[in-house]
A and B are shown apart, each in its own frame.
Chain A
Amino acid sequence: MSQTETGELKSTETAGTNTKSKILQALESKDLNVQFTDALDNEMVLNMGPQHPATHGVLRLLVSLDGETVVNCVPELGYLHRGYEKLAESCSYHEFIPHTDRLDYLSPMANNVGYALAVEKLLHLEIPERGQYIRVIIAELARIQSHLLAMGALVMDIGAVTPFLWAIREREKILDLYDIICGARFTTSYTRIGGVAQDVTDEALNGIKQFLDELTATLDDMRNLVERNKIFIVRCEGIGYLPKERCIELGLTGPLIRACGIERDLRRCEPYLVYDKLDFRVPTYNDSDCLARYYVRVEELVESVKIIRQCLEKIPSGPHNALQSKKVLPKKDRVYTKMEELIHDFMIINFGVNPPVGESYSAIEASKGELGFYFISDGSGHPWRMKIRSPSFSNLQALSEMMNNCMISDTVVIIGSVDPVMGEADK
């Protein structure tokens, strides 16, 4: 059949050479030696990204295809590399906080918390209970914010637009809450070393309570719409499978490792803040495919709502910043009126917090996985070396293995289920 087709094509070509449009003439340049016998029977290399809507940022994939089946896939990173580890070496510990917003820009609050906790571990600083509860609340809000988008984007990549719009609408409310809590919607920079920038008001806490009620209602609607949809299930079930052994070997963290049946959550394994006083479940699934990863994320959303509700009940009154005037920035109104605070403010801003010489590693369970900061301090006001252990980077390493022998249309689903954020992967 293909022979007759090519035969026909050739006859028309030779007949109407003069009437051919310029674009067709350009296509038939000398170095074109592709033979169109069967469209599904030749190997080709497809370049996906870095400007591709399904790659969630500037991830570039080189995919080699056999027909419609993916034979090999090579991710290329670095399109959003800003050299944060180099920048950190010339920033004081406080100055780097705004940069952490730009790591995982879908959950900036969690990065703020992770960074502040890492510096505090280096400084051996403990913050008061109210500050810890505030941090848990904002870190869980960040998880909701990130998982809503991950869910919505995964479903939209499959073709359902409505859940995505609903997710974005709920996410918008979180951004408004951030506005009340810290004055910025997106780049929050809310935490400080030894506490948070300002106390949360009752207005914010009431707003969060109201938001959680609205979220649970919308979440149920979304789940009804998505989880009983046959197209969604067929497109996700068994896609992007990675055996449990490989998940461990590749150092995966976060929802990816919980989707293969391993109950590893740093909130439970290496408890930080007040997570050991809170009651929550770590959802795990055994299938290790895209559907399992979706379910893990959705159930984590429900758990996060539970955690925030407990925090709103338990949050004590009292100071939110540690009482260590040489390490913690004083309040601005006291800086302008009191001599002692002015001196401390000047010293912290100009010379930094000067942690003791040594090395320290601290990690939190961010929405994508283990977000860690490794500090090497030489005793001066800025770190000698800071290494960011970003979950998206190491999770992306498993991408090519998940894509082995899948169909080209499944690549977007697999990327959606890994949920990488390139700001974090490229640092």
Chain B
Amino acid sequence: MNIERLELLKSKLQQFEAEYSDTNGSPGFYIDKDSVIDACRVIKNDLGFRSCVDAISVDRFSKKLRFEMIYNLVSIEHNERIFVKVRLDTKSPAMQSLSQVWDSANWYEREAYDLMGINFENHPDLRRMYMPEAYEYHPLRKDFPLMGIPDSIPLPNK
């Protein structure tokens, strides 16, 4: 990404108090979870990042703001990639669903909901992606044991 575009990006996101954080060469921005929807509309419509190609859920395992969502956004015209990062609460991690902005966030957020237990408000179809529907746990959380929890999935009767 060239410097002019980066400065434009920074100035546009200044009103949302975005905090710049480099991701090994690609720009990233921490945005508050209350203003993330408005900021993402600006990113999509004014700056041309029309594709959301991935969403990464992170469990930092810290006392405050334990969870984090990272959205991987791509602008095909400008050939650029940025990351939008949102810090979430420890007790009940929830944020506005970005599938209101990018349709492709739908499945990525379902995956994050399934594996990390993050709730997305106004999501069109918040179901589990991989695990069985009746499953109670969120396996990617750091306090979930690697071997799994015995008897958490009922086996079929013989």
Contact = CB atoms under 8 A, between A and B. Distances in A.
Contacts of B131: 78, 81
A247 to B, nearest CB: 9
B149 interface: no
Contacts of B70: 374
B76 A389 contact: no
Contact of A248 (B50, B72, B140, B146): B50
Which of A87, A249, A427 has the most chain B CB atoms inside 10 A of its CB? Answer: A249
A84 to B, nearest CB: 11
A372 B54 contact: yes
A361 interface: yes
B129 A77 contact: yes
A334 interface: no
B52 interface: yes
B130 A122 contact: no
Contacts of A52: none
Contacts of A87: 146
Interface string A238-259: 0000000010111101000000
A361 B130 contact: no
A85 interface: yes
Interface string A10-23: 00000000000000
A264 B54 contact: no
A372 B131 CA distance: 23
A157 B33 CA distance: 46
B104 A374 contact: no
A369 to B, nearest CB: 9
B24 A397 contact: no
B115 A85 contact: yes
A54 B80 CA distance: 37
Contacts of B16: none
A241 B128 CA distance: 28
A394 B129 contact: no
Given A77-B129, A374-B70, A251 B140 contact: no
Contact of A389 (B72, B106, B115): B72
Contacts of A90: 146
A393 B50 contact: no
Prevailing SS type, chain B contact patch: mixed
B8 interface: no
Contact of A251 (B51, B79, B132): B51
B119 to A, nearest CB: 19
A78 B108 CA distance: 14
Interface string A383-403: 001010100011011000000
Contacts of B115: 85
Contact of B104 (A78, A359, A376, A397): A397
Contact of B23 (A253, A262, A359, A427): A359
Contact of B59 (A81, A248, A269, A385): A385
A121 B24 contact: yes
Contacts of A89: 146
B11 to A, nearest CB: 24
A305 to B, nearest CB: 27
Interface in A337-377: 358-361, 370, 372, 374, 376
Nearest to A362: B24
Nearest to A75: B107
Contacts of B59: 385
Interface string B106-150: 111000000100000000000011111000000110001010000
Nearest to A427: B130
Contacts of A140: none
A389 B103 CA distance: 17
Nearest to A78: B130
A249 B53 contact: no
Contact of A249 (B26, B81, B104, B140): B104
B29 interface: no
A81 B79 CA distance: 32
Interface of B: 23-26, 28, 50-54, 56-59, 70, 72, 74, 76, 79, 81, 83, 102-104, 106-108, 115, 128-132, 139-140, 144, 146
Interface of A: 77-78, 81, 83, 85-87, 89-90, 121-122, 246, 248-251, 253, 262, 264, 269-270, 358-361, 370, 372, 374, 376, 385, 387, 389, 393-394, 396-397, 426-427
18 contacts: A77-B129, A81-B131, A85-B140, A86-B139, A87-B146, A249-B51, A249-B102, A250-B103, A251-B102, A264-B76, A269-B79, A360-B23, A374-B56, A389-B54, A394-B107, A397-B106, A426-B130, A427-B130
Given A77-B130, A85-B115, A249-B51, 9 more contacts: A78-B128, A121-B25, A250-B104, A359-B28, A374-B54, A374-B72, A385-B59, A389-B53, A394-B107
